[in-house]
Amino acid sequence: MTSSRNRPLWVGTSWKMNKTLAEAATFVDELLAVPIPSGIQVFVLPPYTALASVRSRVPEDSPILLGAQNAHWAPEGSWTGEISMRMAKDAGATLIEIGHSERREHFGETDRTVARKAAAAVAYGLIPLICVGEPLAVRDEGGAEDFVRVQLQIALSELAPAEISQVLIAYEPIWAIGEHGIPATIDQVAPVMALISDVVTVAAGGPVRAVLYGGSVSTQNAREVLSDPNTHGLFVGRAAWQASGFIELLKLCAPLSGAGAGQSTIYSRTLPWTTTAALL
């Protein structure tokens, strides 16, 4: 299946709460020193403190997209400690990660706030990267697919079909994420990816931009994960926090990307939006 991809493979990393400005610069310089394999859409989500400086370090014509790990739905105002979509865009974001399980668990993010944020991101011309995924107890009871279906339906509920077609989805089972994560097997991932594909295809009236998998992705399991036909990319944490690890993954993914199939489209910072004009 992987050899017949006819769309770009999305491979990106969130740095989570890591990296000083100097560490961010080192990562970016190392990444920029290697060619980005054609057919792979690379993205990096630095912390807010480093976003603008990373933006200024990445050349305008680089295919590397940048984004933020969260943003508020309100355009501005008295929201101490928060950052709006407009501010994120101004600092260099093209993508906005929304609803990561760590934000849901530790910062009160709910399906409803995810929906509001997805709508706000689209209104500002940003690409929402909507994260969904079930806890271990739900999976153990056989409820993973129903759980993810509901998360997804609510997350997309404030978007029109044409807007839904522009989103990125990341399936990240909570039990597979982070230091204590148990890497998922393809047999565990594939049915949920198929379900996500069905839900978004109905909601969008066609395919969405891409559906990614995340949770303990590494060079050990990337190839297996990408053998699933409904998986269009990888969302990576720890294994990509050093540029060398990220570059190794990109190299591994290059032959799986369908580059050479003639249909890969790499997006630039000026993305093709067909929906709401930015409210700037």
Residues binding ligand PGA (CB under 6 A): 14, 172, 177-178, 181, 214-217, 235-239
Phi, psi torsion values for 91, nearest 5 degrees: -80, -5
Which CB sits closer to ligand PGA, 118 or 236?
Answer: 236
Which CB sits closer to ligand PGA, 128 or 258?
Answer: 128
Q: Closest approach of Cβ 118 to ligand PGA, in Å?
A: 17
Q: Closest approach of Cβ 66 to ligand PGA, in Å?
A: 16
Which residue among 97, 134, 145, 172 is the active-site one? 172
Question: Who's near 147: CB < 8 A, 6+ residues apart?
Answer: 134, 138
Q: Closest approach of Cβ 249 to ligand PGA, in Å?
A: 11
Query: Could you write out the three-class secondary structure of 6-25?
Result: CCCEEEEEECCCCCCHHHHH
Which CB sits closer to ligand PGA, 159 or 217?
Answer: 217
- Rounded CA gap, 121 and 1, in Å? 32
Which two three-digit tokens encode residue 80? Answer: 């101490």
Q: Is the dihedral of CA 141, 137, 158, 278 positive or negative?
A: negative
Which CB sits closer to ligand PGA, 162 or 247?
Answer: 247
Q: Closest approach of Cβ 117 to ligand PGA, in Å?
A: 17
Please identify the residue of the shown chain whose CB is closest to the bound ligand PGA: 237
Q: Closest approach of Cβ 98 to ligand PGA, in Å?
A: 12
Which two three-digit tokens encode residue 81? Answer: 């400690």
172 is catalytic: yes
Which two three-digit tokens encode residue 22? Answer: 């100097």
180 is catalytic: no
Which residue among 100, 109, 158, 163 is the active-site one? 100
Q: Closest approach of Cβ 179 to ligand PGA, in Å?
A: 8
Question: Who's near 21: CB < 8 A, 6+ residues apart?
Answer: 49, 50, 53
Which CB sits closer to ligand PGA, 123 or 192?
Answer: 192
Contact 13, 270 (CB under 8 A): no
CA angle 200, 267, 69 (to 5 degrees): 65
Comparing CA positions, the residue from 221, 210, 218 lying closest to residue 267 is 210
Which CB sits closer to ligand PGA, 182 or 278?
Answer: 182
Which two three-digit tokens encode residue 10? Answer: 């999305």
Residue 208 DSSP class: -
Contact 125, 89 (CB under 8 A): yes
Active site residues: 100, 172
